[in-house]
Amino acid sequence: MAMPFPILDIQHATVCRGETRVFSDFSFLLNAGEHAAILGPNGAGKSTLLKLLSAEVHPLALEETRARLFGEERWSVWDVRKKLGIVSYDLQRDYLICAEGRNVVLSGFYASNDTYNHQTFTQEQMDRADAVMRELGIESLATRAFEHLSTGEQRRFLLGRALVHDPPVLVLDEPTSGLDLKSCFQYLDLVRAQIHKGKTIVLVTHHLHEIPPEIERVIFLKGGKILADGPKLNLLTNDRISTLFDRPIVLAQANGWYQALPGPS
């Protein structure tokens, strides 16, 4: 059997953001092919964990700390960006003033928020952007201004941006927030298609319904600590979810999908 390849391997890390110490003695390992959903209440440290993965924040350089990204102890942000496709709410907000749809997808080649005059694209890159838009069903909207697209369409363009350089890992932060039910389920179908194409999915969410059946590993984060980490079957139970969110919750389940409902208080 092939050796697991670690995407993110951090041990005994302390991570501060501004004045806040988000993680102390924090250890976490994520291997390629190991789709994971990170769940936790507001302020738990989910975004910080994603930013560790995308090399936007770094652990303090303490003697006991080890941090490897894609197997390397030293990395450049650009190398990491080539290997990650990120879709986050921040991006959607930052793009609201930007140009047409095709440029959103093309900007993924530079990991920027728009295309600029100094950025040039090869015919191959243009063809790749067109292919991705076709795959996501948005090619007819390629010349539409981003701000004139619906939330669901915008989300597809941002997925296209994340996929355009064909990264092995796709990071989704609250992927379906703001989408109506049909758009939500269509979007999740697109995500599942990427799983079947061999991409590793890392999902951060408050919403259990956006965890595709293919994601097996669930990580509960709370107060900067990993409260639980294991198979979905063990973690997505009424008791454990209620403990994570400090209130009674009951779970509904169908065809490998979950939904959370208020429990009796």
164 phi-psi bin (left φ>0, alpha ψ -120 to 50, beta other): alpha
- Identify which range of 37-45, 76-84, 192-200, 233-241 contacts ligand ATP by CB under 6 A: 37-45
**Least gap, CB of 168 to ligand ATP (angstroms):** 24
* Residue type, position 94, single letter: D
Nearer to ligand ATP, 47 or 194 (CB): 47
**Least gap, CB of 57 to ligand ATP (angstroms):** 9
Nearer to ligand ATP, 19 or 124 (CB): 19
Query: Containing H/E element for 134?
Result: helix 123-135
Count of residues binding ligand ATP (CB under 6 A)?
13
Considering only 42, 117, 122, 123, the residue that binds ligand ATP (CB under 6 A) is 42
Residues 12-31 that bind ligand ATP (CB under 6 A): 17-20, 22
Residues near 105 by beta carbon (within 8 Å), at least 6 away in sequence: 129, 132, 133, 157, 160, 161, 164
In this structure, what DSSP letter does residue 264 have? P
DSSP 228-250: EEEEHHHHSSHHHHHHHHTS-EE
Considering only 9, 12, 31, 43, the residue that binds ligand ATP (CB under 6 A) is 43
* Nearest residue to 103 via CA among 119, 85, 123: 119
44 binds ligand ATP (CB under 6 A): yes
**Least gap, CB of 163 to ligand ATP (angstroms):** 23
* Nearest residue to 39 via CA among 217, 195, 180: 217
- Identify which range of 42-50, 114-122, 180-188, 211-219 contacts ligand ATP by CB under 6 A: 42-50
Interface positions with ligand ATP (CB under 6 A): 17-20, 22, 40, 42-48
